Amino acid sequence: MASQQFHRVAIRSLAVAAAAGLLSLACGSGSNGGNQTGGAPVKVAGILSQTGVSQLFGTDETAGAQFAFDEANSAGGVDGHKIEFAAVNDNTDPTTAVQEFRGIVADEANVAIVGPTSSSVSAALKAPVTQASISMVSPVSASALTNPISPYVFRCFVIDVVATQAVLKFMSSMNVKTVALIHSDDAFGNSAATSFTSAAAGSGLQIVANLSYPPDATNMTTQAIQAKSKNPDGYLAWDATTRLATVLTNMSQQGISAAQSVIVAPPIAGNASTKQVAGAAIDGVYFEDQLASDDPRSGAQATFVQAWQKKFNANPSSANLLGYQAAQIIIKGIDAAAKANKPINRQNVRDGIESIKNASMAYATITFSATDHDGVQLGQVQINQIKAGKNVRAGTA
């Protein structure tokens, strides 16, 4: 698995009490942090899930970010500046993430943050990041990350509102009229459920079942039975963790398969571990993701996939790409500051990120502005399908 082959990054743990005091100093000083000039190294931090329920994504995102920074450093750095990247483990826990963030922001050399991995942790860091005036580029879909907008919080993932519109548009094109939704009762699943429900009517679809299960659930047979009883044309199985494999397996056990119905899932469906656990239950399932690792888009994405395969002798995962994308966005922010002959500090890197326009990147074409920190627009959301264990592109919506 690709996540087992990533570069080890420094995992730092700092005393909460001491760090809290340093945070107060950092926030109260009005400093922009860093002010790197000449060819001095630039520090970027990561807050990612090395353990906990989002570990599968977090470890791969860490690897992807490290890969991007290694690429930049091997090419001489960003305008001569080498990037020093160190990621802390938030354990998929908001409290842990806030504690680790205090240590990161206390080091003024850190100019930006990759992460966090999960929607709930990102939500917990939104206010502290904004208060500390340091940019955070997060690979999560929940609308709350950027609504309301924060000057310092950016998304490198398709926002759930856009993703759900694209998924429903795709399902409608497959002649689906009625849909049963099975989702996790957490920030990711609930945000998506709200988006699917509100967007369904406009797409000509009807949500006939909206069923959730708790984050610690280990069997979703009850939800599968209830969903099937509504006799829908299609199903949405929405979970950002390895539980998705269990959901699909329980659905298959109740006679719900992609051979008879259109089943659509989020990006983790294409992950090697998810496919391995779900087995035959996942064959034919569609999933929304910007990467079909066995069928990459030409250009920047194909270049990334080829470079990853050369280094690791394996396909990158969706999470590898997300980590890579987050790092690439920060690299562009650093580059913009350097090319403008400005000090590479937190404010100038933030401004550089927000200035990104129509950048063709491995994940998607990205555009940010003062009023849009989501980057990816409807019309470039990719739908893929799992066929005989391979991830292949099925369309764009």
In sequence order, the β-bridge partners of residue 238 are 183
Nearest to 162 by CA among 397, 380, 378: 378
- Note the pLDDT of residue 32: 56
Query: Tens digit of pLDDT for each residue in 175-199?
Result: 999 999 999 999 889 988 999 999 9
pLDDT of residue 384: 97
Confidence of residue 308 (pLDDT cuts 50, 70, 90): very high
For 217-361, list the strands marked E by DSSP. 234-238, 262-265, 286-288, 359-360
* Percent of the chain residues past pLDDT 70, beyond the cut: 90
pLDDT digits (tens, 9 = 90+) for 109-118: 999 999 999 9
Residue 36: its pLDDT value, please?
63
Containing 185, the helix (H) or strand (E) segment is none
The predicted pLDDT at position 28 comes to 37
Q: For the chain, which residues make up each domain, given as ranges?
A: 2-158+300-366, 160-289+381-396
Q: Is 196:181 a contact under the CB 8 Å cutoff?
A: yes
Give which of 43, 164, 60 is closest to 117, Cα–Cα. Answer: 60
Contacts of 388 (CB under 8 A, 6+ apart): 283
Q: What are the backbone dihedrals phi and psi of residue 171, each rounded to the nearest 5 degrees, phi first? A: -65, -40
Q: Please give the structure tokens belonging to residue 356.
A: 């990104």
Q: What's the pLDDT score for residue 123?
A: 95
CA distances from 72 to 27, 69, 114, 138 (A): 30, 5, 16, 20
Chain-centroid distance, C-alpha 12: 22
Is domain 160-289+381-396 given the CATH code 3.40.50.920 in the classification? no
Q: What is the crossing angle of helices 94-106 and 119-132, to 10°? A: 30
Pair 13, 88: CB distance under 8 Å: yes
- In this chain, the answer to whether the domains covering 2-158+300-366 and 160-289+381-396 adopt an identical fold is yes
Domain 2-158+300-366 indexed as CATH 3.40.50.2300: yes
Beta-sheet strands, E only, within the chain: 42-48, 83-89, 110-114, 135-138, 153-155, 178-184, 206-213, 234-238, 262-265, 286-288, 359-360, 365-366, 382-387, 390-396
Rounded to whole angstroms, the Cα distance separating 148 from 127 reads 11
The tens digit of pLDDT for each residue in 331-383 reads 999 999 999 999 999 999 999 999 999 999 999 999 999 999 998 888 899 99
Q: What is the mean pLDDT of the chain?
A: 90
